[in-house]
Amino acid sequence: MDFETRAIHEGQEPDPATGSVTVPIYQTSTYVQEEVGKHKGYDYSRVANPTRTALQACLASLEGAEHGVAFSSGLGATTTLMHLLNPGQRVVAVNDVYGGVYRMFKQVYEPKGYRFEWRSAAEFAAHVPGDTALVWVETPTNPLLNIVDIRAAAEAAHAAGAILVVDNTFATPFLQRPLELGADVVVHSTTKYLGGHSDVVGGFVATNDPTIAERLLFLQKSLGAVPGPFDAWLVLRGLKTLAVRMERHCENARRVAAFLDEHPAVERVLYPGLESHPDHELARSQMSDFGGMVSFLAQSEEDALSICRLTKLFALAESLGGVESLIELPARMTHASTADAPFAAPRELIRLSVGIESADDLVADLEAALVQAPASSRS
């Protein structure tokens, strides 16, 4: 079955007890046993919950994966993945990652003796040292929207005997399926496009490797970073409209990027869908469209601050991937934790999460802010 059909039906038979068309929110912590040890596969909700089971089956299918494991947040998923490693082992990671992932690696795992090598997206597929256990890629990267070559990264990782993990949060499986390109593990913040309505925090990991899957299921119940039934249900509901939402996100982002690209108050637009983007061809070769995130450089940090203050439809907020448009300043907000890194986000960089409102309204909102910003930042 096609993606759109699986997004609505996979793992979601009508409820056998009542015929309920939507999977119920099994808001329970425990399950009655017929006799000691005899139950229907559910004994305690940290270990398993039917609403979570449905989400895991559906989202795994969308990633083209045999196995899916849901978590309480994207970082909960990342922490659990890091428990596949032992202190002393090396991680090679792309340097332009979500600020929270950078902070976790730098401030939580490095002090414990895990070793990290940071690389730019462009030089990512260079030789990976033989003692590397895990290669961590985010593509498109956040917030600079560079593209990492997933096929080349998989080859380099596998040559070193490492596993390749791809954070697919920005693209979603509708636009990019890393497992089909050679990755071993896909990780998500379902808080973003998969939930899609800015009303839930969640994480997810998908894999086709049975050994990794078994270990992750063990770690899911043993570490306990699990989503509650209602959160699992919200993400499951979000998935049903993922395809139509992503089409509109991409269409609107294309319009916004083209508008900004022509605007004299904008220094440079970072959007892989623009032919002028250095990784445009690479993006085309591994994504079916370019996503809903657009970053751009204003002429100064002051201008950038003004623009963020002046937009009305684009709400000033962290996060991304919801139906509503958001604007933010990575250097001061989502990526403040990379401020001391050599690859800190430029201070005049603005990141947009382009929502699914009317593209005309979105462009008009940006136009009004861009016209007023220079005057407002001088006053």
Ligand X SMILES: *Cc1c(COP(=O)(O)O)cnc(C)c1O
| Beta carbon nearer to ligand X, 192 or 254 | 192
Q: How far is the CB of 247 from ligand X (least distance, A)?
A: 20
Indicate which residue of 98, 109, 193, 271 is catalytic: 98
Query: What SS3 state is found at 251?
Result: helix
Tokens of 163: 């596993």
Cα 180 from Cα 168, distance rounded (Å): 13
Residues 154-193: x/- map of binding to ligand X (CB under 6 A)?
Answer: -------------x-xx------------------x-xx-
Whether 312 is catalytic: no
Site for ligand X, residues 98 to 117, rule: CB under 6 A: 98, 100-101
Calculated CA dihedral for residues 140, 143, 145, 150, nearest 10 degrees: -30
Query: What SS3 state is found at 131?
Result: coil
| Beta carbon nearer to ligand X, 160 or 166 | 166
Tokens of 221: 């119940």
| Beta carbon nearer to ligand X, 105 or 259 | 105
| Beta carbon nearer to ligand X, 236 or 266 | 236
Nearest to 270 by CA among 279, 121, 335: 279
Q: How far is the CB of 336 from ligand X (least distance, A)?
A: 14
b (16+ CB within 10 A) / e for 260-279:
beeeebbbebbbbbbeebeb
Site for ligand X, residues 201 to 260, rule: CB under 6 A: 201, 203
Q: How far is the CB of 101 from ligand X (least distance, A)?
A: 6
C-beta separation of 333 from 306 below 8 A: no
Stretches 14-22, 37-45, 67-75, 250-258: which one binds ligand X (CB under 6 A)? 67-75
Q: How far is the CB of 78 from ligand X (least distance, A)?
A: 7
Query: What SS3 state is found at 257?
Result: helix
With CB under 6 A as the contact rule, the residue among 74, 143, 178, 273 that binds ligand X is: 74
What single-letter DSSP state applies at residue 105?
I
Cα 356 from Cα 353, distance rounded (Å): 10
* Binding flag, residue 75, ligand X (CB under 6 A): yes
Q: How far is the CB of 49 from ligand X (least distance, A)?
A: 19
Indicate which residue of 31, 46, 255, 268 is catalytic: 46
Residues 293-332: x/- map of binding to ligand X (CB under 6 A)?
Answer: ----------------------------------------
Cα 250 from Cα 162, distance rounded (Å): 33
Indicate which residue of 6, 52, 96, 167 is catalytic: 167
Whether 98 is catalytic: yes
Q: Kindly state the helix (H) or strand (E) to which residue 3 belongs, with its residue range.
A: helix 3-9
Whether 167 is catalytic: yes
Q: Examine residue 143 and say whether the peptide bond preceding it is cis (omega within 30 degrees of 0).
A: yes
| Beta carbon nearer to ligand X, 50 or 322 | 322
C-beta separation of 62 from 7 below 8 A: yes
Q: In what order do the strands lie in the sheet with 163-167?
A: 67-71, 203-207, 185-189, 163-167, 132-138, 90-94, 115-119
| Beta carbon nearer to ligand X, 8 or 344 | 344
Indicate which residue of 6, 119, 192, 254 is catalytic: 192
Q: How far is the CB of 116 from ligand X (least distance, A)?
A: 16
Site for ligand X, residues 124 to 143, rule: CB under 6 A: 138, 142
Cα 61 from Cα 10, distance rounded (Å): 7
Nearest to 190 by CA among 139, 233, 156: 233
| Beta carbon nearer to ligand X, 141 or 311 | 141
In the bound state, the residue with its beta carbon closest to ligand X is 74
Which residues belong to the active site? 46, 98, 167, 192
- Residues binding ligand X (CB under 6 A): 73-75, 98, 100-101, 138, 142, 167, 169-170, 189, 191-192, 201, 203
